[in-house]
Chain A
Amino acid sequence: MPLADLIAKSPYPAMTWVFVVLLVILSMYFARVHAHRAILSLSRALYRTLRLGAASTLRAEHRLLLRNREVLLAAGREAKERIIEREFERIDGSVRRDISECPSLNRRLTEEVTRIEEDHQKSTEVPPAPPGWVPAVNAVAEIPSKGDPMVANILEGIHDSLVKAQEQATQDYRKSVQVRHDHLKSMMPHWRNVAQLLGQVDHKVTDLLQRTQIIDRHIDEYENIMRGSDRAERMLSSSSLVQFFIAAFVLAIAAGGAMINFHLIARPMAEMVGGNNLIGAWKIADIAALVIILVEISMGLFLMESLRFTRLFPVIGALADKWRVIMIWVTLGFLTGLASIEAGLAFMREILLQDELLLSASLRGETDAVLGNDFVWITTAAQMGMGFILPFALTFVAIPLETFVHSLRTVMGVTTGFFLRGLAMTLRLFGLGFRYLGEAMVNIYDIVIFLPLWLEDRVKTHLGNGRRPAQGPSFRET
């Protein structure tokens, strides 16, 4: 029976209540020191436990951060090594190609220069000089005739001869100049060829220089990673997060493609495995369609791995080239076979659909609507095309999948780190809360028994010892 009921049954309930309250206060007064100790011990235990938990969590977070950093730097180092290796391979290929072209280039340049020299030589030939006797004849022709007609005729004849000789000389000179100009003109394509060849050389050298600059940049970043600098870690972490979201986006698109693929083959699959058999809550036809799609994705992963686009399976990467090529052809063969099956299933889907439409129409009594239309072949062809192409398109899922898996490690690490930090903070907050709650409860305890405490204080003051009444233990003392 509760205490309240007992008191209510007493003849003087009010008095009984007062008595009980006084009894409780007195009991609390006499048990004050021990009660304070108990409350403070409990709050201290909770505070210390939670603090310990927070410290452990922080240590775990610290270890996780270190581990994340190691993994991130290792992954970044590996990726950077691959990039630098690839750049060196490119440079190597470029230099080998250019060097192999050097003799040919040299020969072509020499030929062009020789032709230019020949043309130049030809263009520098001296034009034919006017005859040597012309000045003598000219001097005779300028002698005054002094009215003698005979002399005048002779002189006129000389003059005419001279003019003719001059014209002949001018014509010869022009022809000679024309020939020289022709030689100079024929030099132009050779100059152009030389300029073009030198331009090609310049372009290749510039390309090489740009590649070296790229390599320099990658080497700098690689050195940063090797030093384990904070900047490198921040860059890699940020890069990982970006890659994670991009890969997740592409995987979501691929999942959409796989879903379309699934709907394309699930219905006709019922013709092969039955439409009403179940495993659990799933139709076997649906499971079979799903398995086909998953096998296609697996084949795609193996194909990409064999082609060395991805590095998800070290065993495949370590295969000898001969076996790798065999694996490429085998996986490609499987993929083509599965794609052909899907195209066939897509065709069957269309046939089933048409049959169902015809049956529904005939059940509705629409006998004239069962002829169908002339454009059915378009949807049939489109479905077959999708059935054949989608398995090959899903092959490329391997690339974002690899990125997703690699970046997921970093993202999970960062997320777990945040979670642990938040947990440690929460534990510390609760620890502090329990500590102050204990002190508050001690004070509230004293408030409840303030009357005996006040009396004790007055009595001790009256007795004159001047000392303060005994205090309960503080949080620090406990």
Chain B
Amino acid sequence: MKRLISAAGLALALAVTGCSEPAPQGRGVYMLMDTSGTYTEELQKAQQIINAILAKLDPGDSFAVARIDTGSFSERDIVARITFDDRPSMTNQQKRKFRDLIDEFVDNVTPASYTDITGGILQAVEYLNEKNPGRKTILIFSDLKEDLKDGYVRDIPLTMDNYNVVALNVTKLRSDNIDPREYMTRLEDWQHRVESGGGTWRVVNDLDRLERILTE
């Protein structure tokens, strides 16, 4: 009887430890590029950032780049997306194709009339939740000035548990120069929205240290 109980215990232990759901692995990165108005002139920098991120990602990681335009909560706004193959050689080929897609997009981009950042973030959350990577990062390459078209409802609380949100190249607008409090308030508002949704918030304006975007 004792032996039976021991064997059952061992089997149970093996079942619990060996057959449990594997923990999510790898990284998932979703980058939003602001294409509204004059910010399209900054897209060359976005290209550099994307290349730097491509160099940092490993086999099995997921990466998507989407544009921010009038209505960003749409799959059509995703410029390129990929989950890298397990094999390193295939990953390298996929990175080359991804870079070519981004280059083509940047060359042919047309400025958008409005800036729907919240919709882009919602789309990013949906994409990364579906991929379910170990670490989820949303990069927002924008001045963070949201400008919604009439009728678009974006007053929605964000659900961003375990998300790292990094705002990149947050440029100052002309009005910010007149009243810097506008810039600070804008940043604080976004930080509050992200952190109240359970995510972490960081701003990186020094693009000379791009390699730190994913490591920190």
Q: Which residue numbers of A lie inside 8 Å of B, CB to CB? A: 267, 270-271, 274-278, 352, 355-356, 359-360, 362-365
Q: Are A275 and B88 in contact (CB under 8 A)?
A: yes
Q: Are B54 and A276 in contact (CB under 8 A)?
A: no
In Å, the complex CA distance between A352 and B58 comes to 13
Of A270, A278, A356, A359, which is within 8 A of B87 by CB? A270
Of B25, B55, B87, B89, which is within 8 A of A363 by CB? B55
Q: Are B86 and A274 in contact (CB under 8 A)?
A: yes
Find chain B residues with CB under 8 A from A275 CB. Answer: 58-60, 86-88, 91
Given the interface pairs A276-B25, A278-B25, A363-B99, the reply to whether A271 lies near B88 with Cβ below 8 Å is: yes
Q: Are A278 and B88 in contact (CB under 8 A)?
A: no
Of B22, B88, B99, which is within 8 A of A267 by CB? B88
Q: Are A364 and B51 in contact (CB under 8 A)?
A: yes
Q: With CB as the reference atom, state the residue of chain A lying closest to B51.
A: A363
Q: Are A271 and B22 in contact (CB under 8 A)?
A: no
Say whether B92 faces chain A, with CB atoms less than 8 Å apart: yes
Say whether B202 faces chain A, with CB atoms less than 8 Å apart: no
Find chain A residues with CB under 8 A from B51 CB. Answer: 363-365
Ranked nearest first, the 3 interchain pairs of A and B with the lowest CB-CB distance are A276-B60, A274-B86, A363-B51
Q: Are A276 and B55 in contact (CB under 8 A)?
A: no
Closest CB of chain B to A278's CB: distance in Å?
6
Q: With CB as the reference atom, state the residue of chain B lying closest to A361.
A: B55
Given the interface pairs A276-B58, A363-B55, the reply to whether A271 lies near B87 with Cβ below 8 Å is: yes
Say whether B95 faces chain A, with CB atoms less than 8 Å apart: yes
Find chain B residues with CB under 8 A from A277 CB. Answer: 86
Q: With CB as the reference atom, state the residue of chain B lying closest to A364.
A: B51
Q: With CB as the reference atom, state the residue of chain B lying closest to A270.
A: B88
- Provide the B84-121 mask, 1 if CB < 8 A to any CB of A, else 0: 00111101100110010000000000000000000000
Find chain A residues with CB under 8 A from B52 CB. Answer: 363
A-B contact pairs, 25 of them (CB 8 A): A270-B86, A271-B87, A274-B59, A275-B59, A275-B60, A275-B87, A275-B88, A275-B91, A276-B26, A276-B59, A276-B60, A276-B86, A277-B86, A278-B22, A278-B25, A352-B88, A352-B89, A355-B92, A359-B55, A362-B96, A363-B51, A363-B52, A363-B55, A363-B99, A364-B51
Closest CB of chain A to B49's CB: distance in Å?
11
In Å, the complex CA distance between A365 and B44 comes to 12
Of A271, A352, A363, A365, which is within 8 A of B95 by CB? A363
In Å, the complex CA distance between A362 and B89 comes to 16
Find chain B residues with CB under 8 A from A278 CB. Answer: 22, 25
Closest CB of chain B to A265's CB: distance in Å?
14
Instruction: Work out how many contacts link A and B, with CB atoms closer than 8 A.
Output: 49
In Å, the complex CA distance between A156 and B177 comes to 154
Q: Which residue numbers of B lie inside 8 Å of A, CB to CB? A: 22, 25-26, 51-52, 54-55, 58-60, 86-89, 91-92, 95-96, 99
Most buried by A among B22, B60, B89: B89
Q: Are A360 and B55 in contact (CB under 8 A)?
A: yes
In Å, the complex CA distance between A47 and B215 comes to 62
Q: With CB as the reference atom, state the residue of chain B lying closest to A352.
A: B88
Closest CB of chain A to B44's CB: distance in Å?
11
Closest CB of chain A to B23's CB: distance in Å?
9
Closest CB of chain B to A344's CB: distance in Å?
15
Find chain B residues with CB under 8 A from A276 CB. Answer: 25-26, 58-60, 86
Closest CB of chain B to A245's CB: distance in Å?
39
- A275-B91, A356-B88 known; 13 new pairs, CB 8 Å cut-off, are A267-B88, A270-B88, A271-B88, A274-B59, A275-B87, A276-B60, A362-B96, A362-B99, A363-B54, A363-B95, A364-B51, A364-B55, A365-B51
Most buried by B among A271, A274, A363, A364: A363
Find chain B residues with CB under 8 A from A267 CB. Answer: 88
Q: Are B58 and A271 in contact (CB under 8 A)?
A: no
Q: Are B59 and A356 in contact (CB under 8 A)?
A: no
Q: Are A359 and B92 in contact (CB under 8 A)?
A: yes
Of B59, B86, B89, which is within 8 A of A355 by CB? B89
Closest CB of chain A to B199's CB: distance in Å?
25
In Å, the complex CA distance between A271 and B92 comes to 12
In Å, the complex CA distance between A267 and B88 comes to 9
Q: With CB as the reference atom, state the residue of chain B lying closest to A268.
A: B88
Closest CB of chain A to B100's CB: distance in Å?
11
In Å, the complex CA distance between A459 and B59 comes to 98
Q: Are B92 and A356 in contact (CB under 8 A)?
A: yes
Find chain B residues with CB under 8 A from A363 CB. Answer: 51-52, 54-55, 95, 99
Closest CB of chain B to A49's CB: distance in Å?
32
In Å, the complex CA distance between A276 and B99 comes to 22
Closest CB of chain B to A279's CB: distance in Å?
10
In Å, the complex CA distance between A365 and B55 comes to 12
In Å, the complex CA distance between A276 and B87 comes to 8
In Å, the complex CA distance between A277 and B96 comes to 23
In Å, the complex CA distance between A267 and B87 comes to 10
Q: With CB as the reference atom, state the residue of chain A lying closest to B60.
A: A276
In Å, the complex CA distance between A277 and B58 comes to 12
Closest CB of chain A to B12's CB: distance in Å?
19
Find chain A residues with CB under 8 A from B59 CB. Answer: 270, 274-276
In Å, the complex CA distance between A277 and B60 comes to 9
In Å, the complex CA distance between A109 and B92 comes to 81
Find chain B residues with CB under 8 A from A274 CB. Answer: 59, 86-87
Find chain A residues with CB under 8 A from B86 CB. Answer: 270, 274-277
Find chain B residues with CB under 8 A from A365 CB. Answer: 51
Find chain A residues with CB under 8 A from B60 CB. Answer: 275-276
In Å, the complex CA distance between A97 and B55 comes to 71
Closest CB of chain A to B83's CB: distance in Å?
10
Closest CB of chain A to B31's CB: distance in Å?
15
